[in-house]
Amino acid sequence: MSSPGTYLAAFLCGGILCLIGQILIDKTKLTPARILVLYVVAGVVLGATGLYRPLVDLCGAGATVPLTGFGYNLATGVSKGVAESGFLGALMGGITSTAGGITAAVFFGSVVAVLFKSKPKP
């Protein structure tokens, strides 16, 4: 069972990542889409260099659920794929390690699209 400190670390880590994103939206001319890409790329770079792993160990889901965690999983999968399959693993590893998250996003997105109708802005 997790301790209250683990929950607090996850909450703070996720909150800080969201705070940084909100500051980028408010204080720069970056679009939300570019900020999302920036977060994924930052997760890949930090994951590939080994700098993101301590944050994952400390914060758990607070570090793995945001988009930086998706980038981290891509980098980890590529690293593992290269170790197992060489160059072909570099192409397959990232998708293999993130397949569950991608599948969930497509599935739940489809369910929401079927259940709700979008309305044009006035």
Q: Per-residue pLDDT tens for 31-82? A: 999 999 999 999 999 998 999 999 999 998 889 888 899 899 889 998 999 8
Give the pTM. Answer: 0.78
Assign residue 82 a region (left: φ > 0; alpha: ψ between -120 and 50; beta: otherwise): alpha
Return the number of other C-beta atoms located less than 10 Å from residue 72's C-beta.
Answer: 28
